[in-house]
Amino acid sequence: MNETMTRPAAGASLIGQRIAKLDAPEKAAGKTRYVHDIELPGQLHAAILRSSRVHARIIRIDTSAARALPGVHAVLTAADVPDQRPIGVAKDHLPLKSDRVRSLRDEVAAVAADSEAIALEALRLIEVEYEDLPVVADAEAALAPGSPLVHPPIPGAAAGAPVGLAGRADNIAMRFDYGHGDLARGEAESDVVVEDCFALHYVTHCCLGVSGVIAEFDAKGNLLLYSNTQVPFLHKREFAEILGMDPARIRIIQPPIGGGFGSKLDIYPFEVICVWLARATGRPVRLVFSREEEFLASPTRQPVRLTLRSGCTKDGRLTFRAVHTLHDNGAYTSWGATTPFVMMQTFSSLYRVPHCDYHTIAVYSNNPYAGSFRGYGNLQATFAVEAHMDKLAEATGMDPLEFRLKNAQVVGEVSGQGMVFRSCGFQDCLRTAAQRSDFQSKHREYAANRNAPGRFKRGIGIASMLHVGGGAKIYPSDGCGTILKLDDFGHVTLITGASEIGQGSETVLSQLVCEELGLPMTAVTVVNNDTDITPWDVGVHASRTTFIAGNSAIGAARKARAKILAAAASRFDCAADSLALRDGHIVRAASGERLTELARFLRSLHFSDRAELVMTSFYYEPPSVHQDKNFKGDVSAAYAWAAQVIEVEVDTDTGVVRMLRVTAAHDVGRVLNRLGIEGQIEGGIVMGQGYALTENLVVEAGRIRNPSFRDYKLITAPEIPEMDVNFIESMDGEGPQGAKGVGEAPAICVAAATANAIYNATGVRITSLPFTPERVYRALHGALPALRPTPVMAQR
């Protein structure tokens, strides 16, 4: 695709057009102020002293020299904040560590000073004496009997106290056990059974804008946070609990965010510490990470060990799947530990599987803190499932496309997990991606050429994915509020709870509102970054914003339109439904005859005896349900589907894999902003390319060995593949104008399709990532060590 934006003709629909991002001009001019760019009067600069040990007891901390340094305003250790409350989804994380550090990222002390240089100098003056403890460096070791404990029980803790205050007697952070059907029956019905172990590695978000926050207490003692969070309303509540404050006295402003991708879903110690420093100094305090700190102390994607056993009949019908996975949480539990919610959907419901069992253990270790990351477990699950789809197809003598089509979900299906597929373009995705890439004939040709002489081998692989596309009902509400205000000049202020994190939500929400009100895109201002103003929203996650906030915006716009047309009907003495809003005018719907300019009519409503200002609000709650205790239920109002075909070239002399071409077909419900959605898909594919080929956060005995862009290899511009992006418009009945969520989808099946392409090229199946030259070369020479099966624990 190589097209510029479109300029819709007056009165033409905005839906499906190529609309430029509203904030693009100011960003291209360098005028956008991110959290790093905000300088409040009297602002101090903070820095955090982190542990130099992986696992150790803190014997002594001496901050006297740091406190004496000119320009230092406050030095905090755990001793200065008694009664700390644990943060995080499992309440297992105290922001400042008192007696023990559990990972290299752990916060030991913090400084606020006149400048960043002074703050860093003060950190160097803090003396900490440690006594090393045995390190739990591996998830399997964490489960072993007699393993050192990461959170040992704390004597005298109150009954029922969370892990952060009470500890626990083992290293198990979370368990998930799911099943449908009868596994034994599935095995018995199988003609072919395959089993493999998979190992998925550490990668991290690498947002170009490093983490940062500014905290300030105003004259009334209210807290103002300038925060990069993706979940401002959940954050506000959690801050209130941690700080023992009335939530009404906490305001969160979100400056534009320099990349999110799931990294800003949790509350982190640095944010709490910055608030404490602001409280201690009575000054605004800004805390911004260095890039090295970003690598060391921001979250990672969950590393996963996985054993998958799958079966099918000889005519290619899937019979069962049995899955055991082991997740390494690191020392604390993030929302990312709940990725099994998403992983089990792929195992149970991407294809029709009559019998499915899924078991996960997430353990504590002294490794980096694993968090949530675009795709949320689905890259890992899809990598395994799609390897087996190819293996089973080959074992039954079927083409990989035919085998998938035979087992693909179709519209109207209710999956074993209770997901209801009201719109489903999955088979269209498979056919489109295969046809446009000439998949079937190339797949045969490349397999036939596998053993021909020659250093470079071509291969082509296909993989598919299922992901929530209509929100995910995890929190008590999965809704979003909108307030719409029309002024005397026909200008609309769209106040939405949904955050903009670069994905283009404010543009698409404006489009939806303008479409309802017959206005051009220039008629809207979006307010979306201040919890004192915006209505509640659960946050940017689960690819939910276009769907949920979009429906909310449409709801508010339709109420405004109804109000305007009802008033116009009485003015022009006709039925409201005979009128319409088009191109900034009130018109007769049938003929298009212009009755009055909208702005003029709004003024006349406002400045009349029965003065009225057109303002509306709407709260949208999707018609999804919470899962039951067995993880069953229709958790999303819609589901997104995709298939991607990837063509690679493998250099068998060096193990270098080049990604040549990606043909993607995504069921997005309906394209709302073609320019924006292409950007989401292309960016997601390249993020997936990095996961597949180059990105690897190397962790050895709890230490990150490559905390820099020099040693952590992101994809650069010359390395991107040719991308052919196609959209399947299944017109979801609940979606805004038929659309479904797409944010996470494009990254999910890239690694899986790449693995299948490498197999097609070489006949070698690699079940661990990333496909670096070393790994591929070893695999081609049979020198890649076999993966151990995932440990299995007795079920509860």
What count of other Cβ atoms lies within 10 Å of the Cβ of residue 2? 3
The least CB distance from residue 744 to other proteins, in Å, is: 14
Cβ closest to other proteins, residue 26 vs residue 577: 26
The least CB distance from residue 210 to other proteins, in Å, is: 7
The least CB distance from residue 1 to other proteins, in Å, is: 8
5 part of the interface to other proteins, by CB under 8 A: yes
Report the site for other proteins in 23-42 (rule: CB under 8 A): 23-25, 27-34, 36-37, 39
Total H helices, total E strands in the chain: 21, 28
Amino acid at 26: E
For residues 89 and 333, the answer to whether their CB atoms sit within 8 Å is yes
Out of 709, 733, 774, 793, name the contact with other proteins by CB under 8 A. 709
Near other proteins by CB under 8 A, which window of 66-74, 142-150, 355-363, 612-620? 66-74
The least CB distance from residue 717 to other proteins, in Å, is: 4
160 part of the interface to other proteins, by CB under 8 A: no
327 part of the interface to other proteins, by CB under 8 A: no
Out of 15, 17, 21, 357, name the contact with other proteins by CB under 8 A. 21
The least CB distance from residue 487 to other proteins, in Å, is: 26
The least CB distance from residue 226 to other proteins, in Å, is: 14
Report the distance separating Cα 325 and Cα 436, nearest Å: 35
Cβ closest to other proteins, residue 578 vs residue 708: 708
Cβ closest to other proteins, residue 336 vs residue 504: 504
Structure tokens at 548: 């949920």
Whether 744 is catalytic: yes
Enumerate residues 6+ apart whose C-beta is below 8 A from 231.
Answer: 264, 265, 538, 539, 540, 541
Report the distance separating Cα 303 and Cα 309, nearest Å: 20
Out of 86, 88, 504, 539, name the contact with other proteins by CB under 8 A. 504
Near other proteins by CB under 8 A, which window of 116-124, 332-340, 399-407, 419-427? 116-124
Report the distance separating Cα 322 and Cα 318, nearest Å: 12
Near other proteins by CB under 8 A, which window of 324-332, 341-349, 427-435, 706-714? 706-714
9 part of the interface to other proteins, by CB under 8 A: no
The least CB distance from residue 43 to other proteins, in Å, is: 7
Report the distance separating Cα 680 and Cα 265, nearest Å: 19
71 part of the interface to other proteins, by CB under 8 A: yes
Structure tokens at 779: 């695999």
Cβ closest to other proteins, residue 99 vs residue 722: 722
Cβ closest to other proteins, residue 400 vs residue 690: 690
For residues 141 and 147, the answer to whether their CB atoms sit within 8 Å is yes
164 part of the interface to other proteins, by CB under 8 A: no
Near other proteins by CB under 8 A, which window of 91-99, 264-272, 463-471, 717-725? 717-725
Three-state DSSP at 505 gives helix
For residues 151 and 365, the answer to whether their CB atoms sit within 8 Å is no
48 part of the interface to other proteins, by CB under 8 A: no
The least CB distance from residue 208 to other proteins, in Å, is: 4
Q: How far is CA 300 from CA 209, 262, 285, 628, 698, in A?
A: 16, 10, 27, 29, 11
209 part of the interface to other proteins, by CB under 8 A: yes
The least CB distance from residue 747 to other proteins, in Å, is: 10
Structure tokens at 477: 């509400």
Site string for other proteins, 646-675 (x = CB under 8 A): -----------------------------x
The least CB distance from residue 695 to other proteins, in Å, is: 11
Enumerate residues 6+ apart whose C-beta is below 8 A from 478.
Answer: 471, 472, 538, 544, 548, 621, 622, 624
Report the site for other proteins in 120-139 (rule: CB under 8 A): 120-121
Near other proteins by CB under 8 A, which window of 65-73, 573-581, 611-619, 772-780? 65-73
Q: Report the phi/psi class of residue 506: left, alpha or beta, with left for phi > 0 and alpha for psi in -120 to 50.
A: alpha
Report the site for other proteins in 407-436 (rule: CB under 8 A): none
Site string for other proteins, 253-292 (x = CB under 8 A): ---xxxxxx----------------------------xx-
Report the distance separating Cα 497 and Cα 255, nearest Å: 14
Site string for other proteins, 676-705 (x = CB under 8 A): x-xx--xxxxxx------------------
Question: What is the 8-class DSSP label of residue 9?
Answer: P
Per annotation, catalytic residue among 116, 612, 744, 774: 744
Out of 20, 141, 157, 165, name the contact with other proteins by CB under 8 A. 20
Cβ closest to other proteins, residue 95 vs residue 212: 212
Structure tokens at 745: 């989808």
CB-based burial, 370-407: b 16+ in 10 Å, e otherwise: bbbbbbbbbbbbbbbbbbbbbbbbbbbebbbbebbbbb
Out of 501, 564, 581, 638, name the contact with other proteins by CB under 8 A. 501
Structure tokens at 605: 């409503």
Report the site for other proteins in 73-112 (rule: CB under 8 A): none
Q: What is the 3-state secondary structure (H, E, C) of 655-713?
A: CCEEEEEEEEEEECCCCCEHHHHHHHHHHHHHHHHHHHHCCCCCEECCEECCCCCCCCC
Q: What is the 3-state secondary structure (H, E, C) of 244-258?
A: CCCHHHEEEECCCCC
Cβ closest to other proteins, residue 27 vs residue 185: 27
Q: What is the DSSP string of 110-157?
A: EEEESSHHHHHHHHHT-EEEEEE-----SHHHHHSTTPPPSS---TTP
* Residues annotated as catalytic (active site), given as ranges: 744
